[in-house]
Amino acid sequence: MPTDAENACFEAGIKFGSLYHQFAGTPVSPDSADSLARAMEESIENQPHCEAVRVTVRREALEAELADSTADYTELTGRFLDVEIDVRYEGTAVRAKMEMEDGYPLMKLVSVDE
Amino acid sequence: MPTDAENACFEAGIKFGSLYHQFAGTPVSPDSADSLARAMEESIENQPHCEAVRVTVRREALEAELADSTADYTELTGRFLDVEIDVRYEGTAVRAKMEMEDGYPLMKLVSVDE
Amino acid sequence: MPTDAENACFEAGIKFGSLYHQFAGTPVSPDSADSLARAMEESIENQPHCEAVRVTVRREALEAELADSTADYTELTGRFLDVEIDVRYEGTAVRAKMEMEDGYPLMKLVSVDE
Amino acid sequence: MPTDAENACFEAGIKFGSLYHQFAGTPVSPDSADSLARAMEESIENQPHCEAVRVTVRREALEAELADSTADYTELTGRFLDVEIDVRYEGTAVRAKMEMEDGYPLMKLVSVDE
């Protein structure tokens, strides 16, 4: 039988995979970044055991990408995002985040508190 | 060579297919419906030739679905949406919408003005 | 510090959330179900720590849905899917699955072997 | 009233937007590219008025991206794809394609035959 902590970590992973693959590819610009971030937070917070989702669009990375481009928008991908998610499963609280590491967005557990 | 009107209709179709398949499946509840609708509008308005996107979540349909359910959210699908999109390509303005017909969401051209 | 087992469960959750929200909403019919199932398996198996993904489209549920419909395809959603995923993180092997429970698709851990 | 040709172009646009935003972001590697291409073709061919979809993953672009990377897969995006779609609406046949132009994937009408 999985422990509460293991179930909590599984649930945290579901939220991250859901958020990323639901919204990756969405057209995004500096002007539309905030409404997209709010929708990502509020939609994933609907999922079971999800206490809070915090999404920040990395505006400087977005503007740097567009400065090199003839377009005024791009597709959402991990290097434009900072995400932190809090999950609670029975007595266990898990925090996980996505951050850039060696140029790749990496999802990782931050803390598991029983 | 396609005409401006034909290109305008092609562009309108791209916006509808994009909006639907980017966001279908997103977790949605009455409380999170507005932020999702705003993100759908603002993200698709980034696309070329797109003048305006208006998204309304059909709240009564959403609440009816949840009344029959043990869950307090569901997945976004066409029967919870009213969408209208305005596209301009060179001199041609196109309006298209998605509406329910025989229980199915149907995307259709409303007007093509050259 | 999260344990290997907790990281393995987090990784299993990421795979499930990714698979579901990447592919939910895809047009699917009995004839196209197999190619979609193969693509779901092979694409998610690319993700780190993912050993195997097994997807079966529940053909009888799909055919029942279409029998009541004027359309010959529908949108992929959880009630048409059986999914099992194997993840290995360092020394820990995790198996997780998605199955119907009370009319809802539920993702759950099956085993965690250290 | 929109003409058959305008409706055909609208339908072709829907298919392109659907294909792109359903599948953008999918994990893809040289080994899994073929199953993903088949699923993209067969799923979109389910849509009304769609006669044929031809998807080729640009393997050389994919391998070039991975050669510069520590990962052995990446996310599907337009620069890895060649797509051609044939639509028929009443008497009108439309062909459209996606191709790279100035480093961007551009969807365009190829022919409209009444």
Q: In chain B, where are the structural domains located?
A: 4-113
Dihedral sign, Cα of residue C46, residue A66, residue A19, residue A14: positive
* Buried/exposed code over D10-36 (b: 16+ C-beta within 10 A; e: otherwise): bbbbbbbbbbbbbbbbbbbbeebbbbb
Maximal C-alpha separation, chain A:
54
The torsion angles phi and psi of D68, rounded to 5 degrees, stand at -90, 5
For residue C65, count other CB atoms closer than 10 A to its CB.
Answer: 16
Residue with tokens 């100035």: D102
**D98 marked as part of a ligand binding site:** no
Q: Do A104 and D70 touch (CB under 8 A)?
A: yes
Q: How are beta strands B27-28 and B74-75 bridged, if at all?
A: antiparallel
Q: Cβ contact (<8 Å) for C27 and D38? A: no
Q: Which of C14, C47, C87 is the best residue to mutate to test the A interface, defined by the most A CB atoms within 10 Å of its own CB? A: C14
Contacts of D39 in chain C (CB under 8 A): 26, 32, 35-36, 38-40
Rounded to whole angstroms, the Cα distance separating A57 from A30 reads 9
Q: Is B40 annotated as a binding residue?
A: no
The predicted-structure confidence for B20-57, as pLDDT tens digits, reads as follows: 999 999 999 999 999 999 999 999 999 999 999 999 99
Tens digit of each residue's pLDDT (9 = 90 or more) over D81-104 = 999 999 999 999 999 999 888 778
Give per-residue pLDDT as tens, D34-74.
Answer: 999 999 999 999 999 999 999 999 999 999 999 988 889 99
pLDDT at A2: 96
Degrees (nearest 5) of the Cα angle B69, B72, B76? 90
From residue D94, how far is each of A85, C61, D49 by CA, in Å?
46, 34, 10
* Residue A84, pLDDT score: 98
Interchain pair B24, C25: CB under 8 A: yes
**pLDDT value at position D32?**
98
Question: How many contacts (CB atoms, under 8 Å) link A and C?
Answer: 86
Best CA proximity match to D49, nearest among D2, D97, D85: D85
- Look at C36 and D27 and tell me if their CB atoms are within 8 Å: no
Residue B57: closest CA among B66, B69, B48: B66
Chain C positions touching A92 (Cβ under 8 A) are none
3-state secondary structure of D90: coil
User: A113 touching C, CB under 8 A?
Assistant: no
- Do B50 and B19 contact (CB within 8 A), yes or no? no
In the structure, what pLDDT confidence band is assigned to residue C101 with cuts at 50, 70 and 90? confident
Pairwise CB contact (< 8 Å): A6 & C112 = yes
CA A66 to the chain's CA centroid? 22
Of residues D10, D12, D21, nearest to B109 (C-beta) = D10
Tell me whether residues D36 and C42 touch, CB distance under 8 A.
Answer: yes
Residues B12 and B78: their CA atoms lie apart, in Å, by 17
pLDDT band at B108 (very low <50, low <70, confident <90, very high): very high
Instruction: Give the rounded distance of the alpha carbon of C76 from its chain centre.
Output: 12
The subunits that touch chain B, with at least 3 C-beta pairs less than 8 Å apart, are: A, C, D
- CA nearest A106 in C: which residue? C48
Please say whether the structural domain C4-113 has been given the CATH code 3.30.1300.20. yes
Inter-residue contact D13 to D109 (CB < 8 Å): no
Q: Which of the residues D20, D36, D42, D55 would you substitute to probe the C interface, choosing the one with the greatest number of C C-beta atoms within 10 Å?
A: D42
Q: Is a pLDDT exceeding 90 seen at residue C76? A: yes
* pLDDT value of position D100: 84
Cβ(C26)–Cβ(C40) under 8 Å? no
Q: What is the mean pLDDT of residues A35-61?
A: 97
Find out whether C16 and C105 touch, Cβ atoms under 8 Å: no
How much is the ipTM here?
A: 0.96
Q: Tens digit of pLDDT for each residue in C8-37?
A: 999 999 999 999 999 999 999 999 999 999
3-state SS track over chain A:
CCCHHHHHHHHHHHHHHHHHHHHCCCEECCCCHHHHHHHHHHHHHCCCCEEEEEEEECHHHHHHHHHCCCCCCEECCHHHEEEEEEEEECCEEEEEEEEEECCEEEEEEEEEEC
D7 touches chain C (CB under 8 A): no
CATH fold group of domain D4-106? Pantoate--beta-alanine Ligase; Chain: A,domain 2 (3.30.1300)
Question: Is C24 within 8 Å of B102 when comparing Cβ atoms?
Answer: no
Residues B48-99 pLDDT 10s: 999 999 999 999 999 999 998 888 999 999 999 999 999 999 999 999 999 8
Looking at residue C105, its pLDDT comes to 85
How big is the B-D interface in CB pairs under 8 Å? 86
Which of B75, B80, B102 to mutate to test binding with chain C, by most C CBs within 10 Å of its CB? Answer: B75
Q: Which neighbouring-strand residues pair with C13?
A: none
Which has more confidence, D81 or C101? D81
Per-residue pLDDT band for C63 (boundaries 50, 70, 90) equals very high
User: Dihedral of CA C70/C81/C10/B66: which sign?
Assistant: positive
* All residues at 6 or more sequence positions from D65 whose CB lies less than 8 Å from its CB, including other chains: D74, D80
Nearest to D94 by CA among D14, D18, D24: D14
Report, as an integer, the average pLDDT of C50-71.
94
Residue B112 with chain D: CB contacts under 8 Å:
2-3, 6
Q: Could you give the angle at the alpha carbon of C57 between the alpha carbons of C54 and C62, nearest 5°?
A: 170
Per-residue pLDDT at A103? 75
Confirm or reject contact between B39 and chain A (CB < 8 A).
yes
Confidence of residue A68 (pLDDT cuts 50, 70, 90): confident
Interface touch A46/B18, C-beta < 8 Å: no
